[in-house]
Amino acid sequence: EIVLTQSPGTLSMSPGERVTLSCRASQSVDRNYFAWLQQKPGQAPRLLIYGISSRATGTPDRFSGSGSGTDFTLTISRLEPEDFAVYYCLQYGHSPRTFGQGTTVEIK
């Protein structure tokens, strides 16, 4: 099983700031099958990024994904009020599909 480790656990940020979230995999992720989800309280997760760097339908272009192999990054270029949420990385190239433990982006 691929273990995904996200850092940091919590980020305290202000609107307008640039945010970088990291995710490291315990082994290389096949076929670039790596994604990021956003979850707000009381809501289902929402797909933001798939295939490492492709934006899902409706994802604003302030969100960008990068990385390869075992190290991946989600960047929010300029935080908007609606971006305060929990972000999960996941890999879907291997079974079982696995998730990181989440990074909370909170208002400073």
Distance CA 14, CA 31 (A): 35
Residue 105: CB atoms within 10 Å: 21
Q: Which stretch binds other proteins (CB under 8 A): 21-29, 62-70, 71-79, 89-97?
A: 89-97
Distance CA 63, CA 76 (A): 5
Q: Which stretch binds other proteins (CB under 8 A): 12-20, 41-49, 66-74, 77-85?
A: 41-49
Q: Which stretch binds other proteins (CB under 8 A): 16-24, 68-76, 77-85, 94-102?
A: 94-102
48-87 positions binding other proteins, by CB under 8 A = 50-51, 54, 56-57
Residue carrying the six token digits 């390869």: 68
The DSSP letter of residue 28 is P
Among 45, 53, 73, 84, binds other proteins (CB under 8 A): 45
| DSSP code string of 52-68 | TTEEPTT--TTEEEEEE
Is 5 an interacting residue with respect to other proteins (CB under 8 A)?
no
The site for other proteins (CB under 8 A) is made up of 1, 33, 35, 37, 44-47, 50-51, 54, 56-57, 88, 90, 92, 95-102
